Amino acid sequence: MNLDALVAAHSAKWSRLDELSRRRRLSGDEADELLDLYQQVSTHLSLIRTGEADPSLIRHLSTILSRARVTLAGQNTSTWADIGAFFLLTFPAALYRLRRWWLWTLAVNVVVAILVAWWTIEHPALYTSQMTREEIEAYVGTNFENYYREFPHHEFATMVWVNNAWVAAQCIVFGVLGLPVLWVLFQNIVNVGIIGALMASHDRASLFFGMILPHGLLELTAVFVAGGAGLWLFWSWIEPGPRPRAVAFAEAGRTVVGIALGLAAVLLVSGLIEGFVTPSALPTWARIAIGVLAEAAFFAYVFVVGRRAYLSGVTGDISRAAVGDSAPVVG
């Protein structure tokens, strides 16, 4: 094979393939041309490799073919439009789709928190056996409130965001096994109930709710959403329905990963409220009002934006085209 003759005969095709593979949009004719050139240049590269190998030419053609292969396969790039579609369609639709799971999780946890607080008030030995009288007085007197004010606002907001995102991530990851999700939720809500009971027992209930409600409404709701999503993920492989177990679990897994990403943004909002609003000098009613508005905005997001997206056919999973085809299963 005469390498110089091959280069002279086909260099124009190589250049044309390189040009087409660099374009972001192709017409139908250009796409057909790209595919045809890709096949031809692949043959040229094979001939060069079996003949008088030229490393620089092989590297050049391999690069062109790699770029053309990506163009043929299609590129999924993150754009502002993709981000907007996620927060306006995918994420709220997933929240609405799983609403029964996380609303029940929320309701059960609220009941558990009330029962734990009542039990703790009736049995103060639960905390007196763990803390001295001086430690209790210090906690209800200054330490509880100072917790929200001892760090700079931006550092505290970042700290609580990371911590809450970690709790939410645990709820979702442990969904593979199921029971650990219940344990994470139980530990979280028991702590809230015991602290509330401790503060209420020492006539500090107003301070407790004044410091907890501004950020806690949205923060705990996000954790309950994560818990409900984790339990739904567990149930997807326990009761897959007519689908193969692996398919059902994969579909649920993709959905809860999207929920986890969206909850990171929700928890960022609650973290900013906890870092800047909760410890602020605003009147208690104003701080609580901000928390209530944030919670109301979240529910409106789910039941207005999410419901509209869900009814339009968005499920929270990736698009069917992105999932690809699967072989039929014999029943």
Q: What is the DSSP letter of 52?
A: S
Only one residue has tokens 């734990």, namely 116
Q: Return the percentage of the chain with pLDDT > 90, whole number.
A: 46
d(CA 116, CA 191) in angstroms, rounded, equals 9
H/E segment holding residue 194: helix 179-201
Report which residue type is found at 93.
Answer: A
DSSP 120-150: HHH-THHHHTTS-HHHHHHIIIIIHHHTTTS
> pLDDT for 66-121, tens place per residue?
888 877 776 544 567 788 889 999 999 999 999 999 999 999 999 999 999 999 99
- State the Cα torsion 258-265-183-235 to the nearest 10°: -20
Nearest by Cα to 271 from 328, 327, 188, 214: 214
pLDDT band for 293, please (50, 70, 90 cuts): very high
Only one residue has tokens 């709701």, namely 221
> pLDDT for 139-176, tens place per residue?
888 888 888 888 787 787 888 888 888 888 888 888 88
d(CA 245, CA 323) in angstroms, rounded, equals 16
